[in-house]
Structure 1
Amino acid sequence: MPRPGQVKSSGERLSDRIALGVLTRVFPPELVDEVVTECGRVEQRSRLLPARVVVYFVLAMCLFSGQGYEEVARLLTQGLERVRQWERPWRVPTTGAIGRARRRLGPEPLKVLFDRVCRPVATTATVGAWYHGWRLVAVDGTVLDVPDTDTNAAFFGRPGSARGQQRSAYPQVRVTALVECGTHAVFAAATGPLSVHEQHLIPALLHRLQPGMLVLADRGITGFELWNAATDTGADLLWRVRKNIVLPIVEHLEDGSYLSEIVATEDRGRRRHPAVVRVIEYTLKGHDDKDVYRLITTIRDPGKAPATELAALYHQRWEIENTLDEIKSHQGGHHLVLRSRDPAGVEQEVYGFLLVHHALRDVMHHTAHQAGLDPDRISFTRTLNTARRHVTDQAALSPLTTQPGPGTDRP
């Protein structure tokens, strides 16, 4: 029997009790274990850093961007040693051990976890998420700096500098995403080298589109094949196109828009196999009248969506720009450079950032829904700081539901 004030060994490792506040609520341990098993990452021997802990570590390092590996590990387990005795003592892993554990895990479990959990979160009552029954979503891309290693430079490439032939200091990974405009929830993503244009990464996102969505995109996205592929999902589209796109007038409509046709580049001469689109042209008050915005949409009936409303609605596309800024500038910090020194680690880290952002946005939506507010009224920075505080505040709380044995204090 233990002496008074002592507790019996629980048979658990301290690392099994790691808690991440809101992150373990959105990504519970049983789901992480299921994903780890599905991806074949279950350990054959006991490790200081089992796969589940490494998944949570990747999430933590994307929550505490800028902190060193060992400091992140301390934040995860701070205070747990005082709660009970453990089967094995915990020691903070070295940077090298954490790096090896991340390589063993690879990017796949983070990608599968993203696919399982990250979905649009708006309900029918969510303010600012809908237009006449369409869920507003946007597609766009960005780039992130990665460490200047030989493997990263060879795989991702780096942009040219504005100063002649000088190259950028860092290689860059390209990321494309689908975002729910009203909640900033990222629900599809793809990564690739800098040389791969956004148009070639976006097809990997289209399986997440469905009828009832209205997809907004800027003029850098539009392409005939991509337009057809997105249309085939059943979603409706509202995309801006470049000025040099030929859009012959097929039929004038009562609201000032008109029906037209777009064709593949190779069919421009004969205009074979056209896709019918509705065109909306407008200028912004106070801007040069020559700066004409040209939108094309699959919504052909002006009665369902008048041209003036769609013109105003298009600027909701900027919500994806705000979302990417939240990830890069606020969550990642100013002048963000990812910490992974190889392509697999970069992909793993990108999905870690996206998972953390989704968890924060899910909490913000829930809070806004309870208060009857537009999610835009909730501060992302304050939510981020609160989540960081709760990781250390709740480090002594277990994400597991276990029954204490005789003579064992409840954690």
Structure 2
Amino acid sequence: MTSSFTAADLLLTLNQQGCNRHWLLPAWKNIAAETEESYGPGDRLLKLKVSLQARKKNPALPEFWYARAVTYEVNGMEKTVLTSLPADCYKAKEVAELYHSRWETEVGFRNLKSSLLNNALVLRSRKVELLEQEVWGMLQAYNLIRREATKAAEKHKKAASEISFKFAFKFIATEMIVLGNTASPGTIPKRLEHLRGALEVVFITKRPRPSRPRAVKISKTRYPVKRSTAPLK
């Protein structure tokens, strides 16, 4: 989503399809908007124009639409997010924190695909019933690891998001194999408590970022690219 022209139809429709539905996304560069109302420092209501193309495609769209813009600073850099969350219910600081916490949700999906499945591209089963069973087992394993990681975070008075899932997964998986083979089930609670204490070594103070700038792969096409083409008739 790169501009208000393409966003209006999607976001307004999203708001209308259900009760108390909202959206939150980063603001695009060079946004063309007027400040309709100011709620405080770095918090304002923007008035954006809906393009003629969008209104032609969806006649139900209004001429203008509104979005709340929250501007805040992270590591000396100014960032702005747009949202439909009302200012009388959600403070600007809460909106900024919510935007960054949603990143942890995306990391969770990555953990499912990369760490838990060892970067497998596809599921192994070929029947629907077996696929459902495979996905169910994967989610159970993920929830088990997350539960123990959360218990460890509570024990050490830290946030669960501060635990490295990759290392916690390997550590807990090994311990669970040992627990499964224990001859004395009565010792399991004590072993779990020891496991949560030992997970202190997998806490991370700062989530690593890529050391190289983002880039796209070079196009391999052997044909010249036409920069200006006449529309088809």
Counterpart of 1:279 in structure 2: which amino acid? Answer: A
What is the TM-score normalised by the length of structure 2? 0.53
How far apart are the structure 2 equivalents of 1:355 and 1:246? 46
Tell me the residue number matched to 1:279.
69
Q: Out of 344, 348, 355, which is 2:140 matched to?
A: 355
Tell me the residue number matched to 1:227.
15
Tell me the residue number matched to 1:389.
174
Q: Secondary structure at the match of 1:341?
A: coil
Q: Secondary structure at the match of 1:352?
A: helix
Q: Aligned runs of 1:335-350 on 2, under 5 Å? A: 335-350=120-135
Q: Secondary structure at the match of 1:299?
A: coil
Tell me the residue number matched to 2:24.
238
How far apart are the structure 2 equivalents of 1:285 and 1:383? 28
1:254 counterpart = 2:40: yes
More relative contact order, 1 or 2 (CA 8 Å, 6+ apart)? 1
Verify the 8 A CA contact 1:237 1:299 in the aligned structure 2: no
How far apart are the structure 1 equivalents of 2:91 and 2:175? 45
Q: CA 1:282/1:365 → structure 2, altered by over 3 Å: closer, same or farther?
A: closer
How far apart are the structure 1 equivalents of 2:75 and 2:174? 45
Q: CA 1:243/1:269 → structure 2, altered by over 3 Å: closer, same or farther?
A: farther
Deviation at 1:357, TM superposition (A): 0.8
Deviation at 1:360, TM superposition (A): 1.0
How far apart are the structure 2 equivalents of 1:324 and 1:296? 23
Deviation at 1:335, TM superposition (A): 4.2
After superposition, what is the alpha-carbon deviation per residue over 1:174-230, rounded to whole angstroms, capped at 9, x for unaligned?
xxxxxxxxxxxxxxxxxxxxxxxxxxxxxxxxxxxxxxxxxxxxx8xx632223346
Q: Secondary structure at the match of 1:250?
A: strand
- Matched residues, percent identical? 25
RMSD: 4.3
What is the TM-score normalised by the length of structure 1? 0.33
Q: CA 1:244/1:253 → structure 2, altered by over 3 Å: closer, same or farther?
A: same
How far apart are the structure 2 equivalents of 1:328 and 1:313? 24
Structure 2: give runs of 5+ residues left out of the alignment: 1-6, 186-233
Q: Secondary structure at the match of 1:295?
A: strand
How far apart are the structure 2 equivalents of 1:244 and 1:343? 47
Q: CA 1:298/1:243 → structure 2, altered by over 3 Å: closer, same or farther?
A: same
Tell me the residue number matched to 1:318.
103
Q: Out of 91, 100, 106, which is 1:305 matched to?
A: 91
How far apart are the structure 1 equivalents of 2:164 and 2:61? 52
Verify the 8 A CA contact 2:34 2:47 in the aligned structure 1: yes
Q: Secondary structure at the match of 2:40?
A: coil
Q: Secondary structure at the match of 1:326?
A: helix
Deviation at 1:316, TM superposition (A): 2.7
Q: CA 1:339/1:378 → structure 2, altered by over 3 Å: closer, same or farther?
A: same
Farther off after superposition, 259-268 or 356-365: 259-268
